[in-house]
């Protein structure tokens, strides 16, 4: 007779804050200071930096690198390319009211605990105006994560110019938050059924943050606790998110990570950090 061991109890997590009502009402961060810190850390670890200026009206502050103000915002891309290993793309800050992704990327760059042969591209703040304002949209009221099929925003056009200058990625990981969610979850785009990173990502997050176990998450039926594998045809959708553009332009597998905004900021950032570390390590092992 075989005796089954009981499933381990989930670890205790910090209590839900209960502050979000009709939108994100949680902690704010100093967006300019955080970006400055990210750039300093990246330079210490020999990332190459490319900077384009995004002004409120004109791109006249292009030479004012490292400065910010109401008429000068910087869009920064970091890359470490040319190694023989896998190519991983990371981004955060496309929605200005989702600060945890930027904090997680700061900590990841600071710790520099990447696989030795990993090629990295990092966009730590794709919506600098929205991040300064604390809004989902940019200063013109555009949701940049719906602007990748026929771009209208300066930010997305500049982003696509940079992406088009580089070879395709093996995996993309976009860091987000959801103020309505009951725990951490992710979207997986993997139309070729390549080895999935979803289960190890969710298992690593479970230690620091609750997983959303709802049968429906963000209006979509979940495949498993914390996992959405949408059946999509990007050509039939007019408003592409960043992940769709990457999928349609040579990146065969993508993950959109959604931390629960109604938990403390350090918890959300740590959950995203664990998720990214697990994803890049698994991708490196499977390359």
Per-residue pLDDT averaged across 39-62, rounded? 67
SS3 of the chain: helix, strand, coil, percent, to 5: 30, 20, 50
Confidence of residue 286 (pLDDT cuts 50, 70, 90): confident
- Check residue 64 and give its pLDDT: 18
Torsion angle of C-alpha atoms 277, 278, 283, 284, degrees rounded to 10: 60
Identify the residue whose tokens are 């009502």: 21
Q: Kindly tell me the number of DSSP H helices and DSSP E strands found in the chain.
A: 7, 10
Residue 287: predicted pLDDT: 66
What integer is the mean pLDDT of 133-145? 96
- Both structure tokens of 218: 């963000």
Whose structure tokens read 């300066």? 154
Q: Please tell me which residue, 236 or 171, carries the higher pLDDT value.
A: 171
pLDDT band at 59 (very low <50, low <70, confident <90, very high): very low
Under 8 Å between Cβ of 62 and 130: no
Can you give the pLDDT at residue 260?
Answer: 98
pLDDT tens per residue across span 223-271: 999 999 998 888 888 999 999 999 999 999 999 999 999 999 999 999 9
Architecture of domain 31-286: 3-Layer(aba) Sandwich (3.40)
pTM: 0.90
Cβ contact 257:174 at 8 Å: yes
Pairwise CA distance, residues 40 & 25, whole Å: 29
Residues in the chain: 287
List, in sequence order, every beta strand (DSSP E) within 98-235: 119-123, 171-178, 185-189, 216-217, 220-221, 227-228
**Looking at residue 85, what is its pLDDT?**
79
| Residue ranges per structural domain of the chain | 31-286
> Beta-strand (E) ranges in the chain?
48-54, 73-80, 87-91, 119-123, 171-178, 185-189, 216-217, 220-221, 227-228, 254-260
Rounded-to-integer distance, Cα 244 and Cα 218, Å: 17
Query: How large is the average pLDDT for residues 106-122?
Result: 90
Q: What's phi and psi for 250, nearest 5 deg?
A: 100, -5
Residue 21's φ and ψ, nearest 5 degrees, are: -135, 115
pLDDT of residue 52: 85
């Amino acid at each position: 007779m075989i005796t089954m061991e009981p499933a381990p109890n989930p670890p205790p997590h910090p209590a839900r804050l209960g502050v979000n009502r009709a939108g994100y009402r949680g902690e704010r961060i100093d967006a300019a200071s955080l970006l400055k810190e990210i750039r300093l850390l990246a330079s210490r670890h020999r990332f190459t930096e490319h900077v384009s200026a995004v002004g409120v009206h004109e791109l006249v502050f292009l030479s004012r690198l490292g400065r910010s103000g109401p008429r000068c915002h910087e869009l920064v891309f970091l890359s470490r390319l040319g190694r023989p290993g896998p190519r991983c793309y990371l981004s955060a800050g496309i929605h200005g009211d989702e600060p945890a992704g930027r904090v997680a990327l700061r900590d990841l760059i600071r710790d520099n605990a990447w696989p030795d042969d990993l090629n990295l591209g990092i966009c730590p703040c794709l919506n600098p105006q929205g991040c300064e304002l604390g809004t989902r949209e940019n200063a013109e009221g555009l949701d940049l994560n719906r602007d990748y099929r026929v771009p209208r925003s300066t930010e997305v056009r500049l982003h696509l110019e940079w992406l088009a200058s580089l070879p395709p990625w093996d995996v993309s990981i976009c860091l987000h938050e959801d103020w309505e969610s009951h725990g951490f979850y992710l979207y997986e785009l993997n139309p070729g059924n390549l080895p999935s990173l979803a289960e190890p990502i969710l298992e690593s997050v479970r230690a620091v943050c609750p997983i959303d176990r709802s049968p429906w998450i963000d209006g979509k039926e979940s495949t498993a606790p914390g996992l959405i594998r949408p059946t999509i045809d990007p050509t039939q959708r007019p408003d592409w998110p960043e992940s769709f553009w990457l999928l349609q332009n040579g990146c065969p597998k993508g993950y959109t990570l959604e931390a629960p905004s109604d938990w403390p900021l350090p918890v959300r950032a740590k959950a995203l950090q664990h998720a990214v570390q697990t994803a890049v390590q698994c991708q490196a092992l499977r390359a």
